[in-house]
Amino acid sequence: MRVFIVGLGLIGGSLGLALRDHELADEIWGAELNEERASEALQLGLADRIVPFEEGVAAADLTILATPVDTIPLLAIKALNRIGERGVVADMGSTKSELCEVIAQHARRDRFVATHPMWGTEYSGPSAAVHGAFTGRTVVLCEGDRSAPDALALVERIFRTLDAPMIYMEAEEHDLHTAYVSHISHITSFALANTVLEKEREDRHIFDLAGGGFESTVRLAKSSADTWIPILMGNKYNVLDVLREHIHQLQLIRHMIERDDREGLREMIDRANSIRRIIQ
């Protein structure tokens, strides 16, 4: 199988490595507009060769779109316009509603598989690609009933080989859920980093004590603007709903501390502790 990966950064590059490591592809072609990143990707073995978008799509059995989410809907249409008879196109994006709306009426909609592997790190670009990505991490397949059975099966085979559990959802449900369990975490990390960096202007030693707890809550603040602005804007209304609720929760805590409301704090913390059900 010849796989064509558009965008050889963290996600696309790691997928290239995974496909090779698990012998899921005979040939991996890539597209990368930035020349420096293109030669870096080749050097790192993320793809065998770099080809123009049109050439790659026409020649590939499977085209993977792994670019920032705001570029995916248009690339999806252009890819569907050019694939061969049995060609399949899948994306790796973190938002799905706009994408699924844009491709909905395309004559070849059934060759597309809307895919979101719930894996990532706070790093980006070809050098961020790692072996072993995706393994054990949930993959969301959106609107699977709109994909042809053979197209869906091809994507399922890849992630089954990578030992990634699959879950099936509508696009709207996906975007709501990712707002709660992924997008808001990035916003709180950005805000926490800036809260302390703001203080550093007047107190240069504020980070001297930064340790494990701080690191884990602020780690995602290293994530790139190029990746995250399109995600936050592409999922704007869900993200705003969650953000309003999150600010509300913080204001409740603030009022409890102001009023020495230890009872309220205890209920609040006991409730938060039940997150143990979810994460080990």
Range 81-120, binding a second copy (CB under 8 A) = 118-120
225: nearest Cα among 68, 96, 118: 68
The rounded distance, in Å, linking the Cα atoms of 90 and 217 is: 32
CB 198, min distance to a second copy, A? 6
Complex with a second copy: residue 14 or 178, whichever CB lies closer: 178
Complex with a second copy: residue 107 or 278, whichever CB lies closer: 278
Complex with a second copy: residue 85 or 258, whichever CB lies closer: 258
Burial class of 167 by CB neighbour count within 10 A (0 to 12, 13 to 18, 19+): middle
Q: Is 44 in the site for a second copy (CB under 8 A)?
A: no
* CB of 114 closer than 8 Å to CB of 171: yes
Q: Is 245 in the site for a second copy (CB under 8 A)?
A: yes
**Could you say which of 22, 86, 131, 266 contacts a second copy (CB under 8 A)?**
266
Size of residue set near a second copy by CB under 8 A: 86
Q: Is the dihedral of CA 267, 272, 278, 280 positive or negative?
A: negative
Complex with a second copy: residue 101 or 237, whichever CB lies closer: 237
Q: Is 129 in the site for a second copy (CB under 8 A)?
A: no
The pair of structure tokens assigned to 75 is 């690339």
Q: With CB under 8 A as the contact rule, which of the stretches 38-46, 50-58, 153-161, 214-222 interacts with a second copy?
A: 214-222
Q: Is 202 in the site for a second copy (CB under 8 A)?
A: no
Q: Is 208 in the site for a second copy (CB under 8 A)?
A: yes
**Residue reference for tokens 């969301």:** 140
The pair of structure tokens assigned to 103 is 């491709």
* CB of 125 closer than 8 Å to CB of 203: no
Q: One symbol per residue from 172 to 201: x for binding a second copy (CB under 8 A), - otherwise; what is it? A: ----xxx-xxx-xxxxxxxxxxxxxxxx--
Q: Is 233 in the site for a second copy (CB under 8 A)?
A: yes
CB 124, min distance to a second copy, A? 10
Q: With CB under 8 A as the contact rule, which of the stretches 13-21, 71-79, 99-107, 224-232 interacts with a second copy?
A: 224-232
- The helix (H) or strand (E) run that includes residue 21 is helix 10-21
**Residue reference for tokens 């494990």:** 212
- Length of the chain measured in residues: 280
Q: Is 218 in the site for a second copy (CB under 8 A)?
A: yes
- Within residues 136-165, the interface with a second copy by CB under 8 A covers 137-138, 140
Complex with a second copy: residue 37 or 186, whichever CB lies closer: 186
Q: With CB under 8 A as the contact rule, which of the stretches 33-41, 106-114, 146-154, 250-258 interacts with a second copy?
A: 250-258
* CB of 215 closer than 8 Å to CB of 207: no
* DSSP single-letter state for residue 207: T
**Strand pairing report for 27-31 and 88-91:** unpaired
**Residue reference for tokens 């397949």:** 141
